[in-house]
Structure 1
Amino acid sequence: MAVFNLTPSDASTFILIGIPGLEAAQVWISIPFSMSYIIGLLGNFTVLFVVAKEQTLHKPMYLLLCMLALTDIVISTCTVLMSLSMFWFSLKGITMGGCLTQMLFHYAGSLMQSAILVTMAFNRYIAICDPLRYATILTNGRIAKLGIVCFMRPVLLILLLPLLVNRQPVCDNRIIPQTYCNHMAMLKISCADITVNKTYGLVVAFVVTCLDLTLIVLSYGLIIRALLRISSKKAHKKALNTCTAHICVILTSYTPFLFSSLTHQFGQGIASHIHSILVNLFYLIPPMLNPIIYGVKTKELRDKLGKCICRM
């Protein structure tokens, strides 16, 4: 991304001001930002390393976990590095090309993460409701194909978004009151009608998210129905334990996203620094917590990590 320390008068650049109203405290704010980012990177790269190293973990569940780790790394890196360069070095300028690239990676990564969570729910459904056919239905080859679908869907949906933003004429005020370029912030400094852009962004965000959440809820509805037919309490506990980590990841991923999207679309009365903080939570919390959740709740992954550490 092309980032420069420029002034608002430069016609080819935009100025990111970080968290509005908290400019004086941004050096202190950078501490939890950087710590969360580092913890997230260490956790996600650890997951990737352990799964790659241990042949016994080359299973659908762990391959999906690796895909989730990769999207977490992309989402956090494409936004946090810009924020930290702004907080530490006052590098606040970014070109239109840099803005559009950042938007593409951020939104495509977010939608890909959502698609992976749906696939993980389907994986849990097959494992619990049809365990005898699990190995034949969800082979590694099929997981790879599902991964390609998870990648292609968001890319095709989001490609139009930067193109729509790029065609919008920008006013003289090129100041973006955010820590990174996002769709709604770019539209607010446009001098033309933004109805098409706003509608498309809203449709993609909520229709895709609602579709994915519906599929996840449906999967867990079928899982609960299957569990009610099982009389063994031990089987109930084992099945629920396999779903706990995934449910926690769904909550950490969707909750900040829905709150930030709703406040951007309908929260005109909410202070701008609250908007910015909610957006930051969306790309800071899930990448940091996801590997911790799976590390704590997945015994096999935890044991393999211990073995890898002992070998070093």
Structure 2
Amino acid sequence: MDNSTETLFFLQGLNETMSTKHAYFAVTLLAYLFTILVNLTLIVTIILEKTLQDPMFIFLCSLCVNGLFGACTLYPKILVDLLSDFSVTSYAACLSQMLAVYTYIICEVNTLTVMAYDRYIAICKPLNYHSIITPQKVMKLVLITWLLSACESAFAMGLVARLPLCGFSIDKIYCTVWAVVKLSCVDTIINNIYGTAFSVFHFLQIILILISYVNIVKASMRSQEDRNKFMQTCLPHLISLTNFTVAVLFDLMYARYGSSTRLQALSNFMSLEYLVIPPILNPLIYGLKMNQIRRRIFRSCSQKTDVLK
């Protein structure tokens, strides 16, 4: 098959929801709007409040920007599909969505890694924190996080784009690399090798984060202040990391070894989970757990209420 913009893929993931598509549309739209609201609230709060210009909050702002990016790669297409009789996407649109989704996934892992590094220095080496985590280094880390994520995803899409395809049906709600690779007419060993290296590298990142947290927990036992710092800044990070890692690992393992006909509903849920839950969960748990952000948001809300009165 010639991979051109005229090639159309049929997404099968929403077939079971067509009888109640209007209810799903309403829920999906509300989730999308709520995701935009909570992330923009945190982003704007951090940007406007000068007391929230510490590295930790800048990394959190980057995490929320990535959450918005991830939501915008998923929700609009699903909303359109829920109003249509068939879920169809062009070859070019499919590649673009895969590029955006995998950039989001990689950037999420990279940002969580950088945030773990920041917390490790803050708690384990507090006297050297400001000499190690300088404003220039913060900007470099944020920039490198996004550039590496985009480059890694672009290379993966290049490997997919070179494959001739012999099928049109994708058993997912949105386009994924493994679903498209399975449609290839030729051997995909290069894609498999890259995918394995990709998975191992980012799994090692997770291991490094966990090792850093072993040291953070040990260091936080030194004083009540360190324990409070751990509960306020590290616990939300661990929740975000655990939720995201479990969902991605399940989807990755199911895509490689799972059946395309069994547990379809569970597969759909887990493939959506890391695109839907983290963008909502991250700003909520950080906003509620971190006193500086919570106080600033509540103060802004009270000021707006006074103005309306």
Q: TM-score, normalised by structure 2?
A: 0.90
Is 2:210 the partner of 1:217?
yes
| Shift in alpha-carbon separation, 1:68–1:238, aligned structure 2, 3 A | closer
Alpha-carbon separation, structure 1, partners of 2:86 and 2:302: 43
- Give how far 1:234 is off: 5.3
Aligned to 1:5: none
Is 2:216 the partner of 1:226?
no
SS in 2 for 1:296: helix
Letter in 2 for 1:142: K
SS in 2 for 1:181: coil
Aligned to 1:179: 173
Q: Which runs of 5+ in 2 are unaligned?
A: 305-309
| Shift in alpha-carbon separation, 1:199–1:26, aligned structure 2, 3 A | farther
Q: Would you identify which runs of 4 or more consecutive aligned residues in structure 1 move more than 6 Å?
A: none
**Could you give the per-residue CA deviations for residues 284-307 of structure 1, whole angstroms, max 9, x where no partner exists?**
111111111101110100011122
Alpha-carbon separation, structure 1, partners of 2:23 and 2:13: 13
Aligned to 1:277: 269
SS in 1 for 2:10: strand
Aligned to 2:282: 290
**Could you give the per-residue CA deviations for residues 23-78 of structure 1, whole angstroms, max 9, x where no partner exists?**
33343333433332222111111011101111111110110011000111111110
Greater displacement, 195-204 / 15-24: 15-24
Is 2:139 the partner of 1:144?
yes
- Give how far 1:91 is off: 6.2
Greater displacement, 31-40 / 138-147: 31-40
**Could you give the per-residue CA deviations for residues 183-238 of structure 1, whole angstroms, max 9, x where no partner exists?**
1111222222223223322321x22321210221121121123234x2x4454344
Alpha-carbon separation, structure 1, partners of 2:17 and 2:183: 21
| Shift in alpha-carbon separation, 1:282–1:242, aligned structure 2, 3 A | closer
| Shift in alpha-carbon separation, 1:184–1:27, aligned structure 2, 3 A | farther
Aligned to 1:35: 30
Q: Which runs of 5+ in 1 are unaligned?
A: 1-9
Residue of structure 1 aligned with 2:258, choices 255, 267, 278: 267
- Give how far 1:22 is off: 3.7
Is 2:182 the partner of 1:188?
yes
Residue of structure 2 aligned with 1:308, choices 295, 300, 309: 300
**Could you give the per-residue CA deviations for residues 102-153 of structure 1, whole angstroms, max 9, x where no partner exists?**
1111101110110110111111111111212222221222111001111122
Alpha-carbon separation, structure 2, partners of 1:121 and 1:14: 39
- Give how far 1:262 is off: 1.3
CA contact (8 A) 1:64 1:116 kept: yes
Letter in 2 for 1:199: I
Alpha-carbon separation, structure 1, partners of 2:243 and 2:31: 14
- Report the aligned-residue RMSD: 2.0
CA contact (8 A) 2:9 2:91 kept: yes
- Give how far 1:164 is off: 1.6
Is 2:240 the partner of 1:249?
yes
Is 2:18 the partner of 1:23?
yes
- Give how far 1:86 is off: 0.1
Residue of structure 2 aligned with 1:258, choices 241, 249, 265: 249
Residue of structure 2 aligned with 1:93, choices 85, 88, 96: 88
Q: Report the identity percentage.
A: 27
CA contact (8 A) 1:184 1:198 kept: no
Alpha-carbon separation, structure 1, partners of 2:225 and 2:104: 38
Aligned length: 299
Aligned to 2:114: 119
